[in-house]
Amino acid sequence: MTVQVEVKDRIGIVRLNRPERLNAINMEMVHDLVREFNRLKGEVKAVIITGNGKAFSAGADVKEMLGMSLEDVVREGHMPLWDAMRGFRKPIIAALNGVTAGGGLELAMACDVIIAAESARLGQPEINLGIIPGAGGTQRLTRTIGKYRAMDLVLTGRLISAWDGYRMGLVDKVVPDEALMREALRLAREIGERSGFAVELGKEAVNKALDTTLQQGLDLERRNFYVSLMSEDGKEGMKAFLEKRKPQFKS
Ligand code: CO8
């Protein structure tokens, strides 16, 4: 299996599992990930995605990609993965345990939170292969770190340290290597204690900010705020605050 999955206390842990290829993403892994995301959808409060071995992922499988025709890439490419992730309403935490490059960084950027081990290295090295990023490495990256830093990474292909990623706002937190999964689980559990419905609404609203005009984003935020305000969990959360007790969320 190119992906290993376990569920612990309603937290899904997805491990990319082609360590001998630095978890390069081939079509089999795309299909495995799509299947697992669909399966986890109704089961978990949050998902952590990380890599087995010394890499998170070194990107698309270059050997497989080179063998694909234009028609194969367009018809069967990696789109199902991005569609499955876009449709996944629960938060996904990327825990970067090592090299995170090309499609690997694009996979991380399709997640909702990125934390990194100190030894992780990040970048978009596609230019070294004579190609460019194809799944967010010019768009999500630019909206996250700004045009000039994105140009530097996309046009040189150099890999940066986890701390440089942190300084650029690409990484939320850098932790010692041995603490990575502990911190990812701590964060997933902390989110998991909140109202699942409110978490979904908050995730949708924040993601919208990268996707639309300010006014459309504000409109969606307001709609989701009204929905959260009228929800069972919203009422319970506010009541519990006033009664000085812990809320009992339903979702
Ligand atoms: N594809 C296939 N095999 C790979 C890949 C890859 N992306 N990366 C590493 N490997 C293989 C190596 O060929 C090597 O195999 P072997 O042992 O048979 O020689 C094995 O993994 C170990 O790799 P290295 O010996 O190179 O390990 P190092 O620690 O020396 O180097 C690097 C690590 C710097 C990350 C290096 O492996 C490297 O440069 N890899 C290629 C990185 C790259 O160019 N990535 C971009 C790929 S293109 C892409 O991602 C487009 C995305 C399009 C959107 C779709 C996304 C799903």
pLDDT, position 62 = 97
Cβ 36 vs Cβ 2: under 8 Å:
no
List, for residues 140-180, the tens digit of each pLDDT value: 999 999 999 999 999 999 999 999 999 999 999 999 999 99
Q: Is 126 a catalytic residue?
A: yes
pLDDT, position 76 = 80
pLDDT, position 99 = 98
Tokens at residue 141, please? 């990256």
- Regarding the beta carbon of 233 and ligand 1, being less than 6 Å apart is answered no
Q: Which CATH number fits domain 3-192: 3.10.20.30, 3.40.30.10, 3.90.226.10, 2.60.40.2140?
A: 3.90.226.10
How many angstroms separate the alpha carbon of residue 56 from the centre of ligand 1?
Answer: 11
Choose among 54, 66, 86: nearest CA to 26. Answer: 66
How many angstroms separate the alpha carbon of residue 133 from the centre of ligand 1?
Answer: 14
- Which residue ranges does the chain devote to CATH 3.90.226.10? 3-192
Angle at 251 between CA 211 and CA 85, to 5 degrees: 35
Neighbours of 31 (CB within 10 A): 15
Q: What is the CATH number of domain 196-242?
A: 1.10.12
- Which residue ranges does the chain devote to CATH 1.10.12? 196-242
Backbone angles phi, psi at 236, to 5 degrees: -60, -45
Q: Is 60 a catalytic residue?
A: yes
Closest C-alpha residue for ligand 1 atom 28 = 22
Please state the separation of Cα 251 from the chain's center in Å: 22
pLDDT, position 74 = 87
pLDDT, position 75 = 85
Closest C-alpha residue for ligand 1 atom 13 = 21
Cβ 56 vs Cβ 104: under 8 Å:
yes
Neighbours of 235 (CB within 10 A): 12
List, for residues 28-67, the tens digit of each pLDDT value: 999 999 999 999 999 999 999 999 999 999 999 999 999 9
Return left, alpha or beta for 231; rule: phi > 0 is left, psi -120 to 50 is alpha, else beta: beta
As a whole number, mean pLDDT of residues 118-125 equals 98
- Regarding the beta carbon of 154 and ligand 1, being less than 6 Å apart is answered no
Cβ 46 vs Cβ 192: under 8 Å:
yes
Cα dist from 224 to 55, 97, 208, 231, whole Å: 37, 34, 11, 10
Strand order across the 11-16 sheet? 3-8, 11-16, 46-51, 92-96, 113-117, 173-175
Q: Where are the beta strands (DSSP E) in 87-204?
A: 92-96, 99-101, 113-117, 121-123, 160-161, 173-175
- What's the rounded Cα separation, in Å, for the pair 201 and 225? 8
Closest C-alpha residue for ligand 1 atom 15 = 21
As a whole number, mean pLDDT of residues 224-228 equals 98
Closest C-alpha residue for ligand 1 atom 4 = 21
Please state, rounded to an integer, the average pLDDT across all residues of the chain: 97
Q: Model pTM?
A: 0.96
Q: Is 106 a catalytic residue?
A: yes
